[in-house]
Amino acid sequence: MSVCVCTGVGQNTGIPSSRQAIAAVTKKLILVPLLDSDGNRNGIDLVNDTLDQSYFDALFNQADATKRWFPTPDFDNVEDVPGDPLTQGLNSGANVIATKGIRTYTGLMLNNSPVLLGKFEAFGCFKFGVYAVDICGNLVGDISSDGNFLYPTPVNEKSFYPRYDKASDTTVADVRIDFEYSHLALDKNIRMIKASELGGADLLLAIGLLDVNVEVISCSTTALVVDLTTDFGSLLSPIATALWLLAEFTLYNNTTPGAVTITGVTNVGYRYTLSYAAQTVADELTLSGSKSGYDFPDTDATVA
């Protein structure tokens, strides 16, 4: 919150007769790096961007992680409250405000495993902000000084503390997140884009990308065999990804540079066999994949 506007005069305090745009309780957060790899500030251009489902899907699936939006699962027991200001007591008995209070956030994501905890812990290592999606699907962030951008509200990344609560006789397992907003975040700058203004997009349904684990089983002159799993599931029964199709894979020969045409793909469960024209023993191949909802790492394999 802002303590003093310092204009020397008051500001008009009238309110409109029509209903004001006030957000409801937060149901989901969208974590966004403050700056992208080019040093530009991430945000919604309210003048030039066309908001619709394709616009947001592109952000959720953005190949450059510094420009990507990372939506959380749904939250419960949310508390998003301003802190009390620090005051200084004077000999006269009066108190003055020394510094503003810092807003804090806490919320639970129920029935989630410790795997999710590990995903969130990485966010404590760089500067990021959050958009809030309330229970009505409205998008909440911070307005820019010129009114042309809606930015994610900056977070004090050093305060970002995800933790895992095990199930008990009376509670279910959850991943809890606690953090302070940045001291630069001002409550007076909070603004909202209504759900009806998002071009048909439903941000309450947004989900983050799933990391794909690629394990090379074998690589012959004519076939590459890999297991594609997620981090979730039991150690002996990992949860498989959705079915991958031939057109979603690409293969490249790094030794004799050039694309390798994949001629067929078969799978049994999460094990995939990719067939291709004969390659040379000891050549290094790189397998890539592209599928909405997944982050597939480039994976090297040596022809044997």
Residue 122 has, within 13 A of its CA and on its CB side, a CA count of 9
- Least Cα distance to 251 among 217, 277, 213 occurs for 277
Residue 132 contacts residue 107 (beta carbons within 8 Å): no
Domain ranges of the chain: 26-205, 210-302
DSSP string over 67-106: T--EE----EEEEEEPPPPEEEE-TTS-EEEEE----EEE
Q: Find tokens 């004969």 and name the residue.
A: 278
Calpha distance 233→252 (Å, rounded): 31
Give the pLDDT confidence score for residue 224 in this predicted structure. 98
- Least Cα distance to 121 among 155, 158, 162 occurs for 162
pLDDT in tens, the chain (304 residues): 455 555 667 788 787 877 778 888 999 999 999 999 999 999 999 999 999 999 999 999 999 999 999 999 999 999 999 988 888 899 998 988 888 889 999 999 999 999 999 999 999 999 999 999 999 999 999 999 999 999 999 999 999 999 999 999 999 999 999 999 999 999 999 999 999 999 999 999 999 999 999 999 999 999 999 999 999 999 999 999 999 999 999 999 999 999 999 999 999 999 999 999 999 999 999 999 999 999 999 999 999 9
Three-class DSSP category at 300 = strand
pLDDT digits (tens, 9 = 90+) for 215-225: 999 999 999 99
Calpha distance 4→7 (Å, rounded): 8
Residue 41 contacts residue 34 (beta carbons within 8 Å): yes
Query: In what helix (H) or strand (E) does residue 272 lie, and over which residues does it extend?
Result: strand 271-276
- Least Cα distance to 245 among 304, 298, 296 occurs for 296
- Least Cα distance to 55 among 201, 195, 207 occurs for 201
Give the pLDDT confidence score for residue 4 in this predicted structure. 56
Q: Find tokens 């057109």 and name the residue.
A: 247
DSSP code of residue 35: B
β-pairing, 262-268 vs 271-276, is antiparallel
pTM of this prediction? Answer: 0.89
- Least Cα distance to 154 among 251, 275, 35 occurs for 35
Give the pLDDT confidence score for residue 18 in this predicted structure. 75
Choices 3.40.50.720, 2.70.210.12, 2.102.10.10, 2.60.40.1220: CATH for 210-302: 2.60.40.1220
Calpha distance 274→249 (Å, rounded): 9
DSSP code of residue 58: H
DSSP string over 108-121: EEES--HHHHHHHH
Calpha distance 34→181 (Å, rounded): 13
Residue 85 contacts residue 3 (beta carbons within 8 Å): yes
Q: What is the CA radius of gyration of the chain?
A: 24
